[in-house]
A and B are shown apart, each in its own frame.
Chain A
Amino acid sequence: MDIPYTTHPREDTGLYNAKVGIWLFLASEVMLFGALFSAYILLRVGAAPGTWPMHLLNVPLGTINTLVLIISSVTVVMAWASLKMNRFDRFKIYQTVTVLCALIFLVIKSFEYYDKFTHYQVTLADGTVLDGHVVTKDTNSITLHHVKEIKPQSATNTVAAPVAAGAAATAEQGGHAADGHADDHSHGERKIMFSELAKHESGRLKMSNFGPWHNTYMAIYFTLTGLHALHVIGGALVIAYLLGPGTKMWFSDPERFTNRIEVSGLFWHFVDLVWIFLFPVLYLL
């Protein structure tokens, strides 16, 4: 006995096996990302008032990436439709665009990541917080440019006061986002000696880039977008495989091949859909 309904739909369900499989899989993916979004909500609601960082990300780049993914969602459907119309040549063009879109998305995303890893925040011994992008860094100094300076002030301190040493950075970070006291020396470079810096109780310098360790916002940002990027890579690999070595099935079993394109397309739509939620939640709100 062979396994039935690998290509043709079963009458009472109207679906072939792989389509049932991918929908079930997507249901579990909804729960996976749903849990992370819930974590985002809980962390944000639980943050001390005024400490949740906002507008840290580059909205124009995020918008471009959103458009890139929307375009790829269109081309992935067009590729499937082309196969349905027996236009293999067009299928190849559309799927190439899809894979290119995935690559563009990942390249833009990695620029955004790079920006966060070179974005530093240091606290001087007098409590002043300096915020800027690193130019050079050596064993005893760091040079930042586009430096914003946030003087310690009472409003920030009331938030920071009951807070243990390690969390001060979060509060100060929030201070700079929430109030207007930041001085913007946008174009100047500033060299800061490590000896000028304040220290944590553990002896570590109060200096941190905006990696996932910086605060819970950066943590959820990197976790959500990182997991999403892994999905983009996975989806792009499958689509690229079905565009390269996988195409030989088109010549032996075209209907099943078309189904594969449909199933990989469903996954790709899901990946795009996740981004449609990620973009406003992380960039705009």
Chain B
Amino acid sequence: MEHSTQTHAGSHGDHHHHHEELGFWKKYIFSTDHKIIGIQYGLTSLLFLLFGFFLMIVMRWQLAWPGQPIPVIGGVLEKLMGAPASGGVMSSDLYNMFGAMHGTIMVFLAIVPLAFAAFGNYVVPLQIGAPDMAFPRLNMASYWVFFLGGVVMFVSFFIPGGPAQAGWTSYSPLASIVPTDGQTYWLVGMVLLITSSLLGAVNFLATIIQLRAPGMTWMRLPFFVWAQFVTGFLLLLAFPPLEAAGLMQLMDKVAGTSFFLPTGLMVSGKPADIAGGGSPLLWQHLFWFLAHPEVYVLILPAMGIVAEVIANNIRKPIWGYKPLVYSALTIGFLSFIVWAHHMYLTGMGTAISTFFQTTTIIISIPSVIILTVFFISLWGGSIRFNTPMLFVLAFLVMFGIGGLTGLPLGFSYADLYLHDSYYVIAHFHYIVAPGTIFALFAGVYYWFPKMTGRMMSEFWGKIHFWTSLIFMNLIFQPMFAQGMAGMSRRMYDGAVNYSAATNPDSLGGLSDAMIYSNRTISIAAFCLMIAQIPFIINLFYSIKGGKKAANDNPWDATTLEWQTPTPPGHGNFDVVPTVYRGPYEYSVPGHARDFTPQNMPDAIATKKA
């Protein structure tokens, strides 16, 4: 840009010539255009989503048929991973590795970059009427730091000893005393990923604060922008403590410090050769100080997408826009003071537990308000049941299940029993998998025409939706029962060792039905994998072969991203848009059409066609 202002000193505003000059590398790889960066984030994180899913598929085989060689890929795994996969069988070490990396990859490399960075990058500047992000080069830097972090995580699978295996939470001292280098790679990868999201968060916040188009006041922002705004603050303020914790654990790993290693630590029956004096609880506090706000980082952008798709498909304004915004802000604030509800079992004391139990239950109020606003919005709408809307409607129910089943975990006495069981797995997967991921699918189907100028196939979209919905529930619903029956989430043999069949003389063994449901769950998971094939084909085929979108605004939407050329060029808008109204003015009485774009003045809106 500086270059262009020097060469075209006299001709302000004419940058078509300038962006024609960009070669392939500058335009698609090292691009500073927020839309290209958004798509880069999107594709990278979709790949990681698939990879994280693949890890779980392999683990599901082991849980259902413990000790049996993994079909088809067992041999490949043995070649790639060596001893932990010898004979094509998943060893306990390999199970731990895949488990730890499944969580890490899904949270930090798939969902967050997809929900925040990909959709945020593509949509936010368009929705607020900005030409780009506030700091385009910083934006490029955050993508490439993210990419590097992903590479470090991925490479760690192929080092001797394999990747991190102490769970995605990497609790010390366990994580610090595993003798392999996987944890070091994990920590370096995390520091890179955290740096990337910090740069991204600064950029998003500055963009939303500074680059709103004239007339785009705070209460005229589409809810998606609000959701990204709160998410940005969560990332900005919650991630640094984990970066600090990561640095300290890295020091424990490579410099021999004892930040998280207590005095008197025994490793394999011998006193560890360390100075001691550290605090394992310190790691948990710092980790969950990030990781609880992180849950809202996962869900808020999804809620933002839901608001956009719902408003567009009920053809009337969202009921209660302001409560929605205030609830999101309240969630953002409260999410910083609930973290220790992950730590009821650590013996930190009943007084502290009671405090965190109280805040945890309070934070469910704004979440319920948001869900209620969406449900009431449906009332009396003439709903269009297209693919994005189906995913969003399913989100409402699935997120409802996930949210309500979280309440028993928020109460410290109930959590004592349910902690670390399959119940917890079922609870947060209901929020993140059929919750957030469904909303992200809705986002892909909804904004695809803006990105490419073509529609994705409705038929295959509906197949994708119904099969995914059924199999998601077949996977996660039985886990509630397994968890309440007492099945721990960390058993690599599917808890066979704790079954009533293996221990006929002891009380409380897991029943045959609980053990057997491991198989139904696994089969459902394999089917879920097959159900994603239509989506993948649909996504890539439609780029060139999809039905052409009727116009720049095929969904008849009101928000600014649909008032641009398709796909938007460098700089997004031909002229600076002026905003005259709120984000969801559908079916306004007296207006000519059932949607009134934000940048349409009243004089034109009321004119009969």
Q: Which residues of A approach B to under 8 Å, CB–CB? A: 1-5, 10, 13, 15-18, 20-21, 24-25, 27-29, 31-36, 38-39, 42-43, 46-48, 51, 162-167, 169-170, 200-202, 204, 208, 211-216, 218-220, 222-223, 227, 252
Cβ–Cβ contact B270 & A201, under 8 A? yes
Q: Which of A32, A36, A167 contacts B275 (CB 8 A)?
A: A167
What is the minimal beta-carbon distance from B229 to any residue of chain A, in angstroms?
12
Question: B257: which A residues are within 8 A, CB to CB?
Answer: 212-213, 216, 218-219, 222-223
Excluding A24-B236, A28-B236, 11 further A-B contacts by CB distance (< 8 Å) are A21-B203, A32-B244, A48-B277, A162-B264, A167-B264, A167-B276, A208-B275, A211-B255, A219-B259, A220-B259, A223-B248
B319 at the interface (CB under 8 A from A): no
Cβ–Cβ contact A21 & B202, under 8 A? yes
Cβ–Cβ contact A24 & B202, under 8 A? yes
Question: B270: which A residues are within 8 A, CB to CB?
Answer: 201-202
A-B pairs under 8 A by CB, number: 191
Task: Name the residue of chain B whose CB is nearest to the CB of A204.
Answer: B273
B134 at the interface (CB under 8 A from A): yes
Cβ–Cβ contact A24 & B206, under 8 A? yes
Q: Which of B245, B278, B575 contacts A216 (CB 8 A)?
A: B278
B263 at the interface (CB under 8 A from A): yes
B282 at the interface (CB under 8 A from A): yes
Question: B256: which A residues are within 8 A, CB to CB?
Answer: 211-213
Known: A21-B135, A28-B239. A13 touches B6 (CB 8 A): no
Category for how many chain B residues contact A? 35 or more
Q: Which of B138, B206, B573 contacts A1 (CB 8 A)?
A: B573
B residues 505-520 touching A (CB-CB < 8 Å): none
What is the minimal beta-carbon distance from A22 to any residue of chain B, in angstroms?
9
A44 to B360, CA, bound (A): 29
Question: A227: which B residues are within 8 A, CB to CB?
Answer: 247
A167 to B265, CA, bound (A): 10
Cβ–Cβ contact A170 & B240, under 8 A? no
Cβ–Cβ contact B198 & A170, under 8 A? no
Cβ–Cβ contact B241 & A32, under 8 A? yes
Q: Which of A27, A162, A200, A219 contacts B273 (CB 8 A)?
A: A200
Question: B237: which A residues are within 8 A, CB to CB?
Answer: 27-28, 31
A24 to B1, CA, bound (A): 24
A211 to B263, CA, bound (A): 18
Known: A43-B278, A215-B275. A1 touches B131 (CB 8 A): yes
A39 to B257, CA, bound (A): 13
Question: A31: which B residues are within 8 A, CB to CB?
Answer: 236-241
Q: Which of B202, B247, B281, B575 contacts A25 (CB 8 A)?
A: B202
What is the minimal beta-carbon distance from B220 to any residue of chain A, in angstroms?
13
Known: A28-B240, A34-B241, A39-B244. A21 touches B273 (CB 8 A): no
Q: Which of A21, A25, A38, A219 contacts B258 (CB 8 A)?
A: A219
